[in-house]
Amino acid sequence: MARSVALIAVLLAAVATAATPPKPSLAVRRTGVVENCGGRSMLVSAKPKDVPAPASAAKFDISLMLYFLFWYVGNAVYNMYNTMALKAVGGKHGGLTMTVSTLQLGVCSLYAALLWLSNFNPITLLGLQKPEKMPLPQTTAADIVDTLPVGFCAAAAHSAGVFCLGADPLFGQIVKAGEPVLSAFVNTVFYGKPPSFAKVVCLFFIVAGVGFASLKKDLKTGVYNLKFDERALIFGMIGNCFAAFKGSENKKLMIKPGLKDRMGGVANQFALTEVLGFLISLPVMLATEWKNLPKFCKLLVSNKDLQIGLVVSGMAFYLYNELATMTIKKTGAVTASVANTAKRVFVLVFMSAVTGKKLTTEQKIGAAIAIAFVMLYSVIDSLVKKFQEKNVK
């Protein structure tokens, strides 16, 4: 498993390096040009202007490889300990899923507070780089109000994701892989930004893949029937929907004059979003699961699986999401989107091994189709653009 993770990370780092514009390694010198002067050809010496010095071979970005590696491992660890915490409170029918989800964000908020108090963010140490300072954001009350929609969407997406994965960790991952479908719908209907025709074609295959993964063959009759966990499907789609809203609202937020400077960087923005998400989730938790809180408190004191599961899943959630933002910063949205799709494959295989639940043939084929076209969806516009430019030339 460790070899597979390392290999994926190396490949993604190579993709990211290849995605950057190539620098010339050899400079061709022109010693002269031929000019026609009164019918005579003359060789005029010409010095090349700003001839670039020979560049060394493209450097292998070790820090980027490590960010990818820990992003993948962090996501897998989150899924494993999230499952542990949910099992400790009785699973999907235990009546405490919202409590687990909220307290995971509570762990994130405590960690963010420690970062601000220490003015020190050690996340870059994972990439063998110097840690960065993390001062308190200089946001105004108006900035906090403007950030509330992002915090609300982040909280809703997280809680829905916990409900989804708590219902069925494997099928839930397949449903979550279909996020581009809901993203296209939200951006078209609410933000007036429809996807290109090429992306629309990909969406049909993504839906088909998730649909095929929902089928199960009757061994007696040979007839296929829809069989899936409805809870996982419904909450997975809700989570995908709010994730799409979060992305669009975040883009709107970042174009507000002076907000980036007052936030003090991506790390501060993410930390603030997690704190707001916790504060928004808390009243929802109390309103929906208050009757089960005495039961939860008893379990929290006595059950080590719940204690460890909550703390580790909360920390892993914060760290892997922060690492994801760092890979976007280093590579760009397209490469990160492809990497996120590949992450789904890794986590799907990992959770199958952890839970001991094997994927059915239909789930394997459906997941392969859905994830492949999610990856294609991420790059299709740039591929079409390159093809068109090539034809024009």
For residue range 204-259, what is the model confidence (pLDDT) as tens digits? 888 888 888 888 777 777 777 777 788 989 999 999 999 889 988 888 887 888 88
DSSP-assigned states of every residue in 38-99 = TTEEEEEE-PPTTPPPPPPPPPP-HHHHHHHHHHHHHHHHHHHHHHHHHHHTTGGGSS-HHH
pLDDT digits 0-9 by tens, 78-125: 999 999 999 999 988 889 999 999 999 999 999 999 999 999 888 888
61: number of Cβ within 10 Å:
18
Would you say residue 129 has pLDDT above 90? Answer: no
Q: What is the pLDDT of residue 337?
A: 64
The mean pLDDT value for 376-385 works out to 85
Buried-state track 119-158, b at ≥16 Cβ within 10 A, e below 16: eebebbebbeeeeeebeebebeeebeebbebbbbbbbbbb
For the chain, domain boundaries? 92-168+229-331, 197-226+337-393
Query: Of the candidates 257, 248, 154, 255, which has an alpha carbon nearest to the alpha carbon of residue 192?
Result: 248
Would you say residue 2 has pLDDT above 70? Answer: no
Alpha carbon of residue 294 to chain centroid: 35
Quickly state the pLDDT bin for 20 (edges 50, 70, 90).
Answer: very low
Query: What is the biggest distance separating any 2 CA atoms in the chain, rounded to whole angstroms?
Result: 101
Q: Global pTM?
A: 0.77
The larger pLDDT score, comparing residue 379 to residue 241, is at 241
pLDDT digits 0-9 by tens, 163-216: 998 888 888 888 887 788 888 888 888 888 888 899 889 888 888 888 888 887
- Give the span between the Cα atoms of 132 and 120, in whole angstroms: 6
Q: What is the pLDDT of residue 384?
A: 87
Residue 95's region, left for phi above 0, alpha for psi from -120 to 50, else beta, is left
Alpha-helical segments (H) within the chain: 2-19, 62-88, 97-118, 141-167, 169-177, 179-191, 197-213, 230-254, 259-263, 266-289, 293-302, 304-331, 333-355, 361-392
Q: Return the H-helix or E-strand segment holding 35.
A: strand 32-37
- Give the span between the Cα atoms of 350 and 373, in whole angstroms: 21
- Give the span between the Cα atoms of 290 and 376, in whole angstroms: 44
Residue 130 backbone dihedrals phi, psi, to 5 degrees? -65, 140
Q: What is the pLDDT of residue 297?
A: 93
- Give the span between the Cα atoms of 241 and 183, in whole angstroms: 6
Could you give the percent of the chain with pLDDT greater than 70? 82
Quickly state the pLDDT bin for 9 (edges 50, 70, 90).
Answer: very low
